[in-house]
Amino acid sequence: MSTKRATREALGETLIELAGEGLDVVAVDADLSGSTTTAKFAAAYPGRFFNVGIAEQNMIGTAAGLAVAGKIAFTGSFAVFATGRAYDQVRNTVCYSDLDVKLAPTHSGITVGPDGGSHQMLEDIALMRVLPGMRVLVPADYVAAKAALRVAATTPGPFYVRLGRVAAPAIYGDDYRFELGGARVVREGAHVTLAACGVMVEQALAAADALAADGIEAEVLDVSTIKPFPAEAVAASARKTGAVVTCEEHSIIGGLGSAVAEALGELAPVPLARVGVRDVFGTSGEPAELMEHFGLSAAHIAEAARGVLQKRP
Amino acid sequence: MTDAALVAEIDLRAARMRHSIVEMIAEAGSGHPGGSLSAADIVATLYFGVMQYDPRWPVWPGRDRFVLSKGHAAPVLYAALADAGYFGRDHLKTLRKLGSILQGHPDCLKCPGVEVSTGSLGQGLAIANGIALGLRMDGLPAHVYCLLGDGELQEGEVWEAAMFAPHHGLDNVVAIIDHNGLQIDGACSEVMCLGGVAEKFHAFGWEVRETGGHDVAELIEAISAPPATPGVPVVVVAYTVKGKGVSFMEGDAGWHGKAPNAEQTATALAELSAAVDRAVEAAKGGAR
């Protein structure tokens, strides 16, 4: 069993690897380089790292300029600031100019913990998903995060890679390959589909274990690419099982749950339940407490699965 | 070319650009004449007296870069790019129309010679800084010229970027302020007082040069002279007249963002044609 690692730890390490391989990567952060781990990259490649201070709009703008000059520009900061504070810069400069800016902010979702609702970003997937040209990746563990960052670096155009603060158990081995636009069947099942992203993949797998004890075979899909959305893969699983539960550490408005609902509405209408934060802000607490408080834990997913199965015709 | 001949040549280019600006905005039926006309001498100086570039190879790595932070002044940029040969003058009459390479605000994915899309105010200087960092990393001696409006200085991101350039020693960035004193809702001093623009940039660590914004000889010197201290970025505060060159537009905030009607267009173009004729004569004299 691998040790637990946070997805944010992948950022600095992957940047070091990419620069070592000769990729023209740079990083711009906004006074959070220790937390985002870009400080590790800065220590290894000081000429490729720029700190703008507490100025997220300038972080995105400077990264945009570096991309105009031909660099592959990663940005740090926390998800709440990198998206909300600098949304116009991301929209009108990065996406409208189709630049090689790769947003990889950390501290997304409620697992930020004690810092509370002001710092627990629950709307970032929604904000980024609607931007033309933006690709949105939500890796489930450290290995997936490294692979996602690599795909972002080597694929032209804007990317949003959502990283988290807390250490999470390993789901994947070193043979994992990130498929842009794909959904991975992590566990096969015939009765209900649990479509999850990020730290919720772990919870969905635990829910599948609990359901199995009751004779319910749940299929767990890791939907690590929210955009381009793997609509056909999700629909195929929905057609097979006939019921879907979405699992995300994000608002149920605009994120994975919405993307799945949109796809299934067009391709394969089946009973659907969305597990996520229900249109409220976060609050202070320990990550595990908050997962229970907001109804995101494995037990809540299992309960939602039983509920959605009852609606199946 | 002698200095006087170069100045006369740029004056002529600027006069022609002003004529193009009014012509294309009138044809489009909308657009921003005031801030395009105020910046005509600055942009003409950059494109025909300062910057190194190749219109046949718009992405030549060694080129100087121009970032039009005040993106609504797109017509002045389009007039310069057409005059420089980036695209045919026929495109100018397609401004703001469906399918045009000349969008209402500059779009780098559609228009050759536009380095980066702009239009949302306050973003250009940060982009210019990023380009300057990239050029420096690559050992390229090129410069980045960023034109900002004065009303635009009310955006906070400008000052985030103003703090950044001196901190990183970006003496390959030159910021130019088109200081015409007016914005959409009226005088900058009444809408939101800017205070001393020169003093503010000085306090942020820039070498500040104040100059007449319609005096090409002064502009060439202010824009192209290297900083007194290496590593210190230069800002040129160019005092301009909004709507410069069209008598009834000069100094009137009402001409920030509307097109002239047919009668006004005829009057404006007559004035601007006369100015072109005068500039042609002066250029002939200057070339002797």
| Cβ–Cβ contact B116 with A under 8 A | yes
Class of residue B140 by CB neighbours under 10 A (exposed 0-12, middle 13-18, buried 19+): middle
Q: Averaged over B166-183, what is the pLDDT?
A: 98
Confidence (pLDDT) at B179: 98
Q: Can you name the residues that pair with A244 across neighbouring β-strands? A: A193, A272
Search chain B and give the residue with CA nearest A30: B160
A73/B108 Cβ within 8 A: no
Confidence of residue A147 (pLDDT cuts 50, 70, 90): very high
Confidence (pLDDT) at B193: 96
Does residue B168 register a pLDDT over 60?
yes
- Condensed to tens digits (0 to 9), the pLDDT of residues A190-239 reads 999 999 999 999 999 999 999 999 999 999 999 999 999 999 999 999 99
Share of chain A above pLDDT 90, in %: 98
> How far lies B181's CA from each of A212, A303, B37, B241, in Å?
72, 64, 14, 8
Confidence (pLDDT) at A3: 81
Confidence (pLDDT) at A312: 87
Confidence (pLDDT) at B286: 56
Does residue B150 register a pLDDT over 80?
yes
User: Nearest by CB to A58, which of B118, B133, B164?
Assistant: B164
- For residue A289, indicate whether it is catalytic: no
How many Å lie between the alpha carbon of B200 and the closest alpha carbon of chain A? 18
| Cβ–Cβ contact B117 with A under 8 A | yes
In the block, tokens 């991101």 appear at B157
Please list every residue in chain B whose beta carbon sits closer than 8 Å to the beta carbon of residue A64.
Answer: 116, 126-127, 130
DSSP sequence for B109-133: TTSTT--S---STT-HHHHHHHHHH
Q: What count of residues does chain B have?
A: 288
How many Å lie between the alpha carbon of A196 and the closest alpha carbon of chain B? 36
How many Å lie between the alpha carbon of A96 and the closest alpha carbon of chain B? 7
Give me chain A's average pLDDT, please. 97
Chain A residues with CB-CB distance to B under 8 A?
26, 28, 47-48, 50, 52-53, 55, 57-58, 60-71, 73, 88-89, 91-93, 96-99
Please list every residue in chain B whose beta carbon sits closer than 8 Å to the beta carbon of residue A71.
Answer: 134, 137
Helix (H, G, I), strand (E, B) or coil at B182: strand
B164/A65 Cβ within 8 A: no
Confidence (pLDDT) at A1: 47
- Condensed to tens digits (0 to 9), the pLDDT of residues A13-39 reads 999 999 999 999 999 999 999 999 999
Q: A interface mutation test: which of B105, B109, B127, B172 has the most A CBs within 10 A?
A: B127
Q: A interface mutation test: which of B164, B167, B172 has the most A CBs within 10 A?
A: B164
How many Å lie between the alpha carbon of A72 and the closest alpha carbon of chain B? 10
Confidence of residue B1 (pLDDT cuts 50, 70, 90): low
User: Nearest by CB to B130, which of A55, A66, A96?
Assistant: A66
- Condensed to tens digits (0 to 9), the pLDDT of residues A273-303 reads 999 999 999 999 999 999 999 999 999 999 9
SS3 labels along B206-240: CEEEEEECCCHHHHHHHHHCCCCCCCCCEEEEEEC
Q: Averaged over A79-98, what is the pLDDT?
A: 98
Confidence (pLDDT) at A2: 57
Search chain B and give the residue with CA nearest A97: B117
- Condensed to tens digits (0 to 9), the pLDDT of residues B40-85 reads 999 999 999 999 999 999 999 999 999 999 999 999 999 999 999 9
Does residue B124 register a pLDDT over 90?
yes
SS3 labels along chain A: CCCCECCCHHHHHHHHHHHHCCCCEEEEECCCHHHHCHHHHHHHCHHHEEECCCCHHHHHHHHHHHHHCCCEEEECCEHHHHHHHCHHHHHHHHHCCCCCEEECCECECHHHCCCCCCCCECCHHHHHHCCCCCEEECCCCHHHHHHHHHHHHHCCCCEEECCCCCCECCCCCCCCCCCCCCCEEEECCCCEEEEECCCHHHHHHHHHHHHHHCCCCEEEEECCEEECCCHHHHHHHHHHHCCEEEEEEEECCCCHHHHHHHHHHHHCCCCEEEEEECCCCCCCCCHHHHHHHCCCCHHHHHHHHHHHHHHCC
Q: Which residue in the list A9, A56, A123, A303 is annotated as catalytic? A: A56
Helix (H, G, I), strand (E, B) or coil at B4: helix
How many Å lie between the alpha carbon of A23 and the closest alpha carbon of chain B? 14
Q: Averaged over B151-166, what is the pLDDT?
A: 98
Please list every residue in chain A whose beta carbon sits closer than 8 Å to the beta carbon of residue B127.
Answer: 61-62, 64-65, 68, 93
Sign of CA dihedral B159, A75, A91, B69: positive
- Condensed to tens digits (0 to 9), the pLDDT of residues B179-213 reads 999 999 999 999 999 999 999 999 999 999 999 99
Could you tell me if A257 and A308 are in contact, meaning their C-beta atoms sit under 8 angstroms apart? no
B117/A96 Cβ within 8 A: yes
B116/A73 Cβ within 8 A: no
Q: Averaged over B280-285, what is the pLDDT?
A: 91
